[in-house]
Amino acid sequence: MNLNEVDPIIVEKAKLWLGESYDQQTRDAVKNMLENDPAELVECFYRDLEFGTGGLRGIMGPGTNRMNKYTVGAATQGLANYLLKSFSGLQEISVAIACDSRNNSQFFARITAEVMAANGIKVFLFDSLRPTPELSFAVRHLGCQGGVMVTASHNPKEYNGYKVYWNDGGQLVPPHDKNVITEVQKISSVNEIKFTGNQDKIVTIGNEVDEVYLNNLAGLSLSPEVIARQKDLKIVYSPIHGTGYKLVPEVLKKFGFVNVLSVEEQSVPDGNFTTVHSPNPEEKAAMHLALELAKKTDADLIMATDPDADRVGIGVKDLNGDFVLLNGNQAASLLIYYLIKKWKTNGKLQGKEFIAKTIVTSELLKDIAESHSVESFDVLTGFKYIAEIIRKYEGEKTFIGGGEESYGYLVGDFVRDKDAVASCAMLAETAAWAKDQGMSMFEMLVNIYHEYGFYLEDLISITKKGKSGAEEIQKMMENYRTTPPKEINGIKVVKVKDYKSGKETDLINGGQKDIDLPKSDVLQFFLEGGSKITVRPSGTEPKIKFYFGVKGKLENKADFEKVNSLMREELNAMIAALNLV
């Protein structure tokens, strides 16, 4: 590719970055792309970063499609403008800002603070890295109108990101997310960004907020007497070089656990994530060191959190005594089962309680809840929609807990985002409760399958990078919409839900009805017999995701291995039928 082949609009956008309003390093990098690397120029400038399900997120570097001082500055200026409009009646508007351990996170957090302060907005800036859930907590605790968490969650090291929170402590939902983007798009020049702030408007916060947050977490415990008996439960924990390194061990100690072994190599914050290819606890490779330590020490439970400590992966011993990693649906099912059982035992169920899950998360959670007369809400993918449900029913109904298949869970409502710090504590308590009854967590899971039905799920993610990848993903979604499969693996598709059109279509009777959820680029295919396939582009990564779910019966617990094998064959056949692997 040469520069003549590049869209002139892209070239003009790039040339604006050669002006004196940009720093010399940025100008040099853009000049080099214009002269020597037009392909990279396209990737850096073909679009502006937008808020997806996780906010602003992208590869770090120069350009409108990259995370840098200027895109962060523009996002912050747009957010500041929207806050000033939305809360014009307040004498003082304030925001809380935190960051994770990624490269440039503290730099971006400081830029965010400076721009906010320059716009007359008071800033509560954490003194060092903190978990995402603590930022969510701080927004409400400090009475802020908004918040920003600088993180790219579990993405590879070249990424960074920017999650925006509203005054309820939840991430932006419609119409606020689109309205902020509109404000950002109104900024036609970098000169409109107020980079130099009033330092008096920036207040440093730290341990005092940690203490209140941890005390709230400690109040979640439902079985202190069980932990007293099982305090020696052997727990291996890894923060995978992220923000959980301090608070997760502290909250486990507050709960009463005294035998916590940290993975030393991964307990040092490191934006390069030197011991892993990707700091994602959903991937077995990221859990390797924790698994090795667990085998060496004969641990009861493995837990690992991602860099901003909002997701947690767990490992337990299976029926043969070998360590296995549970997926997000399994961990969420164990947690929700334990919470509801203990709420009932402790006399806390009053008939107004509810849980919430995303549409791609296992139906097992719903089955568990409804069997105890606890209401269950389905929401779109993205934990911000669970926060939205909590806010909607605040004062009317009581939120017990919620989760999503992508390793994010929440207990209690004082945080309004997935909380791996709280989840680590409550999953450890779940393990202690199981052990106190002579079970492992895996045996507890088998018991749940026996009682409610055997659910088996899997996720296939296909990466399509860059502009061409985004176009290919869009084309795939269009093809599934215009020519949906009539059968998959020889099994009839009986119903299609298209969340983009907001319509549910019965393919047997031809009837159609509305879906009572916001519009979203998601398709679901329901098969004869109860299997379900969901297709959606990721809102935070260059991927298209396929969620597969099958349901069977486990009439005899001794048949677990056999039934699991048969259901796995069925699930793999469905994946093969769509030519995904």
Active site residue 238: no
Q: CA 72, 78, 80, 86 torsion: positive or negative?
A: negative
Cis peptide, bond prior to residue 131, ω within 30 of zero? no
Strand order in the sheet with 353-358: 375-379, 353-358, 398-404, 408-411
CB 158 within 8 A of CB 110: no
The one-letter amino acid at 64: T
**Residue 181: phi, psi to the nearest 5?**
-60, -40
CA distance 388 to 86: 18
DSSP annotation of 153 reads T
Task: Point out the catalytic residue in the list 94, 101, 105, 153.
Answer: 153
For residues 295 and 225, is the Cβ–Cβ distance under 8 A? no
Distance CA 358, CA 404 (A): 6
CB 165 within 8 A of CB 142: no
Q: Where do runs of H (alpha helix) occur along 69-200? A: 69-86, 105-118, 132-141, 176-185
254 alpha-carbon distance from chain centroid? 25
Whole-angstrom distance, CA of residue 340 vs CA of residue 266: 34
**In contact, 153 and 307? CB cutoff 8 Å:** yes
- Tokens linked to 165: 């929170």
How many other CB atoms are there within 10 angstroms of residue 233's CB atom? Answer: 24
Is the four-CA dihedral 244, 245, 249, 254 of positive or negative sign? negative
Question: Which residues, at least 6 apart from 61, have a Cβ–Cβ distance to it below 8 Å?
Answer: 29, 44, 67, 68
Q: CA 278, CA 470: separation in Å to the nearest integer? A: 22
Whole-angstrom distance, CA of residue 310 vs CA of residue 71: 24
b/e burial code for range 255-269 (CB count within 10 A of at least 16 → b): bbbeebbbbeebbeb
- What the block records as the tokens of 463 is 């990466």
Tokens at 575, concatenated: 């994946």
Name 531's Cβ contacts closer than 8 Å, sequence gap at least 6. Answer: 491, 548, 549, 550, 551, 570, 574
Q: Supply the residues annotated as catalytic.
A: 153
